[in-house]
Structure 1
Amino acid sequence: MAALGNQGTVTEAAGFNPEDDSKRLREAMKGAGTNEATIIEILAHRTIAQRQSIKEAFKRSVGKDLPDELRSELTGNFEKVVLGLLMPAPVYDAYELRNAIKGAGTDEACLIEILASRTNDEIRALRTCYKTEYDRDLEEDICGDTSGMFCRVLVSLLTAGRDESTTVNEVQAVQDAKELYEAGEARWGTDEVKFLTVLCVRNRNHLLQVFEEYRKISGRDIEDSIKREMSGCLEDVLLAIVRCMKSKTGFFAERLYKSMKGLGTTDSILIRVMVSRAEIDMVDIKAEFLKMYGKTLYSFIKVRSNCHQSWFLKG
């Protein structure tokens, strides 16, 4: 659940004229070579809604799809970023989930990132887009590619059934914390279903209270207990849920940091977070990144990645 006041670095361009933008993009792709600076100047500084208008204007005036034309002109990560920018948010989420599932292997981290962080409305929209775009059922595809309790947690998140009110039931919060403790730290083995029931269903404010009560009862942070009791993808998805409840912007700041620290950069994570959050809460993610790591996100990306991601951060 996004905090009130969240804002993106990409906002509506003043004096927006989709026909003019379409013409400039067409000229940027004419002849030998491509004027990448013009593509960046336009697409990185228009909202998703404005980009849809540009796509429509381009098709009217040229008789071709803008994404297809850009795909033929661009390569690598630049192409991935630009094509991602041209997709409405639920279409982009569906596209990323499809890529995470299809082919050999599964990108579990992508499934976790998207499903643990989206609102009920966002999950319903991406499920619909997945069906429309690929004529496949997302739940069936996820069940075909994952298993066990990890699969059950993802399916629970896919139902978009989380309470999104702000009500905190103090008595229930204490009971939930007690049951989580008894399901994990206080017994031999772990009752994983209890973690699913509480973490995938309760609202954010209630869960924050549960986490406080849990610390009082167990003497540990809920994250520490999950790390002790779980492993693998189940541990990863439950930690992601907890961190999104505590601070969604902190969750994404950490995702960005981990995608770039050490040798090499996990460009797929970097691209996905930057594209999907640019218009939602990137200003807040930038501030959280600075607070958590003592470096600006802009400087970190410039030094550690050759992606065209720093476009979004000037806002």
Structure 2
Amino acid sequence: MATLRVPASVPPADEDCGQLRKAFAGWGTNEALIIQILAHRNAAQRKLIREVYAATYGDDLLKDLDAELSSDFQRAVLLWTLDPAERDALLAYEATKRLTASNWVIMEIACTRSSQDLFKARQAYHARYKRSIEEDVAYHTAGDFRKLLVPLVTAFRYEGDDVNMTLAKSEAKLLHEKISEKAYNNDEIIRILTTRSKAQLNVTLNQYNNEFGNAINKNLKDDPKDEYLKLLRATIKCLTSPERYFEKVLRLAINRVGTDEWALTRVVTTRAEVDLQHVKEEYHKRNSVPLDRAIAGDTSGDYEKMLLALTGHGDL
């Protein structure tokens, strides 16, 4: 469920472009006008605005936004204005860079996008960086992390609801055996997590829980400080209940000394058109505070207004 609020009647793209151009003119930038337009247009509408802007003014809207805005607000607007596949490609690219490296972001993109969306992100990566996402992930990771992440980013899972109960029972048993042996990087564990459909995995993990009396992630807490085990647990959470995974990312981003704006921006911009409503419900349930109130208490200015608009609380 998306949170994005789009007006009942959206002006033609050339009108939006004229308004954006006006927002950039003169001495100061009209940030409120930028939010009013871009934060209330869906992906197809934003794409059209970029195309019409380029055709009309001969300029790249993203470059103009980059030049006019700054700080966390700039990043939120730029990420939001990108096509979802381009956005994922950029986030994945940053996640393989030394200063912003994050195995978690790579895993998150690989596990919470549909097969089609992940495929489009790989194509966008290829087009923009003239390399494959797989080779960059393989080059910038090592050991167990590489063993898990490369097949995750190359996955093209079946998306339907059909499941095989016999298979679920045998693979639940296999997972339990390997975890009991503490063989956490075993090929079979990685094969099951990186190839099975999400519906099949849910059935397998329910079977695991019922038969062995423990959720699989409880059995993967052998060493709470083990970074690979943390990533493995997060992978399972992303594949089976993404709203719970994203709630935790937001909670950790907000409830810390100094906000983690990168994580906050990433979750809001990537989930606003997907399942942010579910994430908000999960957040409220877990923290007894609505997400918009938590964001408002932790951010300020145009950045706060942009995030609130994307979470469905800004003025239309």
TM-score by length of 2: 0.91
1:21 corresponds to: 16
Deviation of residue 209 (structure 1)? 2.2
Deviation of residue 42 (structure 1)? 0.5
Show CA shifts across 1:166-193 (max 9, x none): 22222221111111111012x2654522
Pick from 42, 63, 67 the counterpart of residue 72 of structure 1: 67
Deviation of residue 68 (structure 1)? 1.2
- Maintained 8 Å contact 2:62/2:81: yes
Relative distance call for 1:104 and 1:294 in structure 2 (3 A) is closer
Show CA shifts across 1:199-234 (max 9, x none): 222222222222222223332210111222686443
Work out the number of aligned pairs and report it. 309
Relative distance call for 1:52 and 1:8 in structure 2 (3 A) is same
1:46 corresponds to: 41
Structural RMSD (CA): 2.0
- Maintained 8 Å contact 2:246/2:279: yes
- Maintained 8 Å contact 1:130/1:137: yes
Output the CA distance in 2 between the equivalents of 1:17 and 1:81.
24
Matched, 1:217 2:217: no
Output the CA distance in 2 between the equivalents of 1:105 and 1:15.
37
Deviation of residue 123 (structure 1)? 1.3
Output the CA distance in 2 between the equivalents of 1:297 and 1:190.
35
Output the CA distance in 2 between the equivalents of 1:159 and 1:219.
32
Output the CA distance in 1 between the equivalents of 2:223 and 2:169.
20
Output the CA distance in 1 between the equivalents of 2:83 and 2:100.
27
- Maintained 8 Å contact 1:112/1:236: no
Relative distance call for 1:141 and 1:303 in structure 2 (3 A) is same
- Maintained 8 Å contact 2:111/2:239: no
Output the CA distance in 2 between the equivalents of 1:194 and 1:47.
40
Q: Which amino acid is 2:282 matched to?
A: E
1:108 corresponds to: 103
Deviation of residue 162 (structure 1)? 2.3
Deviates more, 1:212-221 or 1:108-117: 212-221
Output the CA distance in 2 between the equivalents of 1:218 and 1:230.
21
- Maintained 8 Å contact 1:12/1:50: no
Output the CA distance in 2 between the equivalents of 1:65 and 1:105.
26
Deviation of residue 154 (structure 1)? 1.2
Deviates more, 1:126-135 or 1:235-244: 235-244
Q: Which amino acid is 1:61 matched to?
A: T
Task: Please list every run of 5 or more consecutive structure 1 residues that lacks an aligned counterpart in the other structure.
Answer: 1-5
Relative distance call for 1:289 and 1:111 in structure 2 (3 A) is same
Matched, 1:312 2:306: no
Deviation of residue 82 (structure 1)? 1.0
TM-score by length of 1: 0.91
1:289 corresponds to: 283
Output the CA distance in 2 between the equivalents of 1:171 and 1:212.
13
2:85 corresponds to: 90
Deviation of residue 36 (structure 1)? 0.7
SS in 2 for 1:200: helix
Deviation of residue 12 (structure 1)? 6.4
- Maintained 8 Å contact 2:284/2:291: yes
Relative distance call for 1:204 and 1:291 in structure 2 (3 A) is same
Relative distance call for 1:189 and 1:125 in structure 2 (3 A) is closer
Output the CA distance in 2 between the equivalents of 1:18 and 1:210.
47
Identity %: 29
Deviation of residue 41 (structure 1)? 0.6
Relative distance call for 1:21 and 1:238 in structure 2 (3 A) is same
Deviation of residue 146 (structure 1)? 0.3
Deviates more, 1:41-50 or 1:236-245: 236-245
Show CA shifts across 1:73-114 (max 9, x none): 111111111111221000000011111112446222211221
- Maintained 8 Å contact 2:106/2:153: no
Deviates more, 1:251-260 or 1:80-89: 251-260
SS in 1 for 2:310: helix
- Maintained 8 Å contact 1:252/1:273: yes
Pick from 285, 293, 297 the counterpart of residue 299 of structure 1: 293
Output the CA distance in 2 between the equivalents of 1:188 and 1:138.
30
Q: Which amino acid is 1:228 matched to?
A: D
Deviation of residue 24 (structure 1)? 1.1
